[in-house]
Amino acid sequence: MFNSNEQRGKRQKVFMSSVEALANILAFVAAFFATPEVFGRTVGWVVTYTAARYGTGFEDFTAFGWFAVTGLLIFFGARATISTAIVAAGLAVAVRFV
């Protein structure tokens, strides 16, 4: 008759790809707004620490590298958190109605 396992697999694939896309979009928004704040509050300390331990003359490179690291940390942390929350919420709704 109907292959229910195949249909279930397709539904799960659509759900997970939607979760991934939504998590990426929301993580980008979070990184867009949070990166300048975190970077502005920490760049002075990181540049001072780097200059004291590794020497001066690399302050611009250090600041740029720290900006990239900060943005990536916020993006991937937010994506992991958001995707986990969406899946958990989906499971909670599914359990409630099944």
**Domain regions of the chain by residue span:** 30-97
Q: State pLDDT tens for residues 30-67.
A: 999 999 999 999 999 999 999 999 999 999 999 999 99
Q: Who contacts 79 (Cβ-Cβ below 8 Å, separation ≥6)?
A: 23, 24, 26, 27
Percent over 70 (pLDDT), the chain: 97
Q: What is the mean pLDDT of residues 61-87?
A: 96
Residue 49 contacts residue 21 (beta carbons within 8 Å): no
Q: Are 82 and 23 in contact (CB under 8 A)?
A: yes
- Chain Cα centroid distance, residue 74: 6
Question: What confidence score (pLDDT) does residue 5 get?
Answer: 74
What is the per-residue pLDDT for 24?
96
Q: 72 falls in which pLDDT band (50, 70, 90)?
A: very high
